[in-house]
Structure 1
Amino acid sequence: EGGGGEGGGEGGGGGGGGRLHDFSGYLDDVETTDVTFRVEGRELHAHRIVLLCSRASDVFRAMLRHPMKEATTSAAVEVEDLGYDVFRTLLTYLYTGDAEVPFHIAPALLLACERYMVYSLQLRCVDVMVRHLSSESLWETLAHAGSLQLPAPPDTSPSQQPPAEILREAAAHFLCHAPAFAQLVGSDEFKDHADDLVPRLHEALLTRLAQLREAWQQQQQQQ
């Protein structure tokens, strides 16, 4: 990704996640950091200047620029409702423009990106969740899609679908090809998400039928 702001809250130049440089070696370096976060009782040390110049968020800007005690002293800033691994992955991305997103934290990180307005990392979480879609994760994925409202940055390609739409279409595609299709469609969870799924499922089924018909016609021609 190039420079420029995302969601009105990301500035600075550079590639990757929009960071000015790769600061990976400085994250959690106690000797050089000037802000401490406390997450799940564990401390994580960072630099105000890196957070304020990264392709990160208005949330960090408000947190660190507001003349409150936690922004101007050595007192730790409490981060609530996020796991330590999730928050550290978020900061790693802000420092380096890159971060590994394991599937087990992808849903929580997806929502953290919504909260901190880190759109590009949110798309990465979406990709991980789509690749790991299963009958067990299907309904949770759709529930998370319903929580997403973060707009795309102004420099995003018009063809880029919003994260929520990507998740919903992937869910419909998965459902269309699922061996347990009848069981899933007959579940209470399907009823809860019917408004989102039925139109997309209709399109997915039509596409699937067209593919099957084309394959059958090719098979007939070869005989």
Structure 2
Amino acid sequence: MPTPEPSTSASAIVSGTVTGHHVLTIDGYSRTKAKLPTGRFTASRPFTVGGHSWSIHYYPSGDRSDTAGFISVFLELNPAADAAAAAGSGGSEPVDARVTFSLLDQAGRSVPSHTMATDLHDFAATGFGFGRFIERSYLEQSEHLKNDRFAIRCDVVVFSDELRAEARTADAAALSVAVPPSDLSQHLGGLLAAKELGADVTFLVAGETFTAHRCVLAARSPVFRAELFGPMKESAATAVITVDDIEPDVFRNLLTFMYTDTLPETNPQELEEEEEDDDDDYEDDQAQAAAMVEHLLIAADRYNLERLKLICEDRLCKHIDGESVATILALAEQHSCDGLKEACFQFLSSRSALNSLVATDGIEHLARWCPSVLNQLMSKVAALVPVDFVVRETR
């Protein structure tokens, strides 16, 4: 079973307190969930704050039956290490501390809706934390879980004797009520699904109709804003707007993103174990997923949805292989996707990848549709493969 790995730890002494933090990275979340049922945990490697040894206990399936739908996290003193320290100092001492747990986003920043802090507690007696730290369904649908990996930061403040009474008084004055994560996207998604709730614009896409709310579309897309509230706004308010050059499923996903800022998972990697005996079906799923993301990227560029465009670039990076790299590289060039284009160049930096490009007529595809990017590619790989080799293979 994968072991949670620490990323960083740090400590500091400030005015009678010792502060420190530790980042717990869960690599292989789905396997920890499968291996550890409710009530079972795995512990982080020990880390030291305030002269005490600590560990984070991570329960991927909740610590009790009533938290089975959540991830639970608790901070615990390491008894053996602290017992030895207490014996050396002549007796057991209270260990008063506060702990804050934060879910980290992909940039390593704390997610405000999933940052929780305890009051001041004596950790010598028991550990403290949160049984309902993250709802598993939220994590699994969020962008904070990427490649089956996410991270939790634990900040610890250990108090000196003279600050304990003052801190406990402050805790009593700082009572609070737990606030759940934002459900705005869920409500807006329901607004899109409920056609009778104020929908005031209709789109016709390849024979299929979609209703939406002009103000939402205008707020999300400057292109829709111009189309729905520009010089033609009166006709746009009453007529059915025909959308060409896009498939209904793509437009449906586009609208879903505009209302909820999320996309359904289009990369079927999680189906790999279920379909390991049917490689053809799995490859078909992969191809369909890549095609959907490509179409969504084109639509995102068309309607100036920069975040959606970047999400599509990121997902397409996972589909780059010898057969697809030419098509993806051409798409990146045509729609000014610099990050995706650079990922293609990195993939093609090996001799074997270049041979695959030639074998699949990728060079001809680039020469026909994106000669400029072909010139960039040849200049980048000139040091690896002689240019005349590439030219000779394409004649």
Q: TM-score scaled by structure 2?
A: 0.39
| Distance in 2, Cα, partners of 1:44 & 1:168 | 33
**1:27/1:95 contact within 8 Å kept:** yes
The amino acid that maps onto 1:97 is: D
Comparing 104-113 with 179-188, greater Cα deviation is found at 179-188
Residue 192 of structure 2 is matched in structure 1 by 27
The equivalent of 1:189 in structure 2 is 362
Q: Determine the structure 2 residue equivalent to 1:46.
A: 212
- Amino acid in structure 1 at the alignment position of 2:318: R
1:114 paired residue number: 301
- 1:198-213 aligned at under 5 Å gives the runs 198-201=378-381
Deviation per CA, 1:35-67, whole angstroms, max 9, x where unpaired? 1111111111111121122xx222101211133
Q: CA deviation at 1:188?
A: 5.3
Distance (Å, rounded) in 2 between the aligned partners of 1:170 and 1:202: 18
Runs of 4+ in 1 over 6 A off after TM superposition: none
| Aligned equivalents of 2:265, 2:313: Cα separation in 1 | 10
Q: Give the Å deviation of 1:202.
A: 5.5
Q: Measure the CA separation in 1 of the matches of 2:351 and 2:216.
A: 45
More strand by share: 2
2:222 maps to which residue? 58
Three-state SS of the structure 1 residue aligned to 2:255 is helix
Give the deviation of 1:199 after TM superposition. 3.6
How big is the alpha-carbon RMSD for the aligned residues of Structure 1 and Structure 2? 2.8
Q: Relative to 1, partners in 2 of residues 1:64 and 1:101: Cα closer, same or farther, differing over 3 Å?
A: farther
Alpha-carbon deviation of 1:29? 2.1
2:253 to 89, 103, 111: 89
Residue 201 of structure 1 and its aligned partner are, at CA, apart by: 3.5
Residue 186 of structure 1 and its aligned partner are, at CA, apart by 6.8
Deviation at 1:146? 1.9
AA in 2 matched with 1:41: G
CA distance in 2, matches of 1:101, 1:139: 24
* Change beyond 3 A, Cα 1:201–1:124: farther
Q: Give the partner amino acid of 2:343.
A: A
CA contact (8 A) 2:200 2:237 kept: no
Task: Give CA deviations for 1:154-183 in whole Å, capped at 9, x if unaligned.
Answer: xxxxxxxxxx22222211222234745324
Unmatched segments (≥5 aa) in structure 1? 2-15, 150-163, 206-223
Contact 1:37 1:45 in 2 (8 A): yes
Contact 1:39–1:84 (CA<8 Å) still a contact in 2?
Answer: yes
- Whose radius of gyration is greater, 1 or 2? 2
Secondary structure in structure 2 of the residue aligned to 1:146: helix
- Contact kept, 8 Å, 1:38 with 1:77, in 2: the verdict is yes
Q: Name 1:71's counterpart in structure 2.
A: 236
* Secondary structure of 1:98's aligned partner: coil
For the pair 1:137 / 2:324, whether they are aligned, the reply is: yes
Using the aligned pairs only, state the percent identity. 35
Matched, 1:168 2:341: yes
Equivalent residue pairs, number: 171
8 Å contact 2:329–2:341 — kept in the other structure? yes
2-side partners of 1:125 and 1:106: how far apart?
6
Assess, with a 3 A threshold, how the Cα gap between structure 1 residues 166 and 107 changes in structure 2: closer, same or farther. same
Moved more, 62-71 or 107-116: 62-71
The alpha carbon displacement at 1:101 in A equals 5.4
- Is residue 203–residue 211 contact of structure 2 (8 Å, CA) maintained in 1? yes
Summarize the Cα distance change of 1:45–1:90 in structure 2 as closer, same or farther, 3 Å threshold: same
Query: For 1:176, what is the secondary structure of its paired residue?
Result: coil
* Aligned mates of 1:169, 1:201 — CA distance in 2: 13
- Kindly tell me: are residues 185 and 139 of structure 1, through their superposed partners in 2, closer, same or farther at Cα, counting changes over 3 Å? same
Letter in 1 for 2:237: T
SS of the equivalent of 2:242 reads strand
In the aligned structure 2, how far is the partner of 1:28 from the partner of 1:40? Answer: 20
Structure of greater relative contact order (alpha carbons < 8 Å, 6+ residues apart): 1
Secondary structure at 2:348 match in 1: helix
Structure 1 residues 183 and 97: alpha-carbon distance in aligned structure 2, compared to 1, 3 A threshold: closer
Question: Could you say if the C-alpha distance between residues 28 and 35 of structure 1 is closer, same or farther in structure 2, counting changes exceeding 3 Å?
Answer: farther
User: Once the 2 structures are TM-superposed, how far is the Cα of residue 100 of structure 1 from its aligned partner?
Assistant: 2.4
Distance 2:233 2:214 in 1: 14
